[in-house]
Amino acid sequence: MSQKLKVAVLGAGSLGKEHVRIYAELARAGEVELAGVYDISSETAARVASRHGTRVFASIAEAAAASDALNLVTPTTTHFDLAKTLLQQGKHVLVEKPMTDNAAQAAELVQIAAQKNCVLQVGHVERFNPVFKYLQMVATDPRFIEVHRLSPYPARSTDIGVVLDLMIHDLDVVLAFVRSPVKSVDAVGIPVLSKTEDIANARLRFANGCVANLTASRVSPQHMRKIRVFSGGPSPSHVSLDYRAQEGFIYRVARDGEQESSLLKKLFAAKDSTIVSEFGGKRVVREPVPIEKGEPLKLELQSFVDCVRARQTPVVSGESAKQALDLAFEITRQIQQIS
């Protein structure tokens, strides 16, 4: 595109306001033109727009007319109708996860985007976390994956269960990481504070033999977003990473020349220390991972802008997001069947 891409944000709530903030930063850097913001609450829209020096749209139709691309940061139940309307108008769309709450509707959005030659990206932000990029580089033969995503009860997204709210991030990551068909799913979950499941666990077995165990909870006293991977192949390793802190450790067999660390170093090892220990005649290294930190949401929105400009398939396309969604629906089906 020769002219700056005009982007609007629909929804100015807790996440939508962060979209507006980042686009305002990109606009100041000359990357895009922030066309404006719309929210069902005009007061909310006005407050966010004023903070970032942008326009408030009186309607979605007005926002669409002034934009080339739009971000949908609205309740899940509105995603299908809004995205369908915008795609049919030839607009590029980034829709927050989950893409829809209906598999057939998700498939229809993918089809419309293809017909209209529009970019349809879904907001699985963890794919843009530097942690995931590092994981792909070092754990090349994942055999076992364990994920915990825990949070206190939210003030948002209570219209869906914890599988579609939180676990779907990890379903998307694991599918992209393992790259093998899912052969079996075993799931359990219970409602605690809402009508849908607030705690869920799913065990996935893949065709290549990899097993993934995922736990999600939105009734936890603490925030946790961690992943552990046991990787085989010629360089076996155990990688333990924290998505929130963007840090962690890798445990691997020592290379030639890596001598065992002193007892003093082991006792007073800091987070940034590399420790070599001997077990059964072999040396094992625990070292901090070299992750270049970055804001995942900003990386995600920048990628969306780049894909629209180049008319490229996004990292999290509608099709790949639908695969995670289909798996999430199977998990929730099993949970509802048991309860």
Do the beta carbons of residue 122 and residue 109 sit within 8 Å? no
For residue range 202-255, what is the model confidence (pLDDT) as tens digits? 999 999 999 999 999 999 999 999 999 999 988 889 999 999 999 999 988 887
pLDDT tens digits, 169-200: 999 999 999 999 999 999 999 999 888 899 99
What secondary structure does DSSP assign to 276-319, as a single string? Answer: EEEETTEEEEEEE-------HHHHHHHHHHHHHHHTPPPTTBHH
According to the model, what pLDDT value does residue 155 have?
Answer: 67
> Which of 77-86, 192-201, 280-289, 330-339 is the least confident region?
280-289
In this prediction the pTM is 0.89
Distances from the Cα of 14 to the Cα of 82, 154, 157, angstroms: 19, 11, 11
Q: How confident is the model at residue 157 (pLDDT cuts 50, 70, 90)?
A: low
Mean pLDDT of 299-313: 96
Helix residue ranges per DSSP H, the chain: 16-28, 42-52, 60-65, 76-88, 103-116, 130-138, 162, 168-178, 263-267, 296-310, 318-338
With bands split at pLDDT 50, 70 and 90, how would you rate the model's confidence at 144? very high
Mean residue pLDDT across the chain: 92
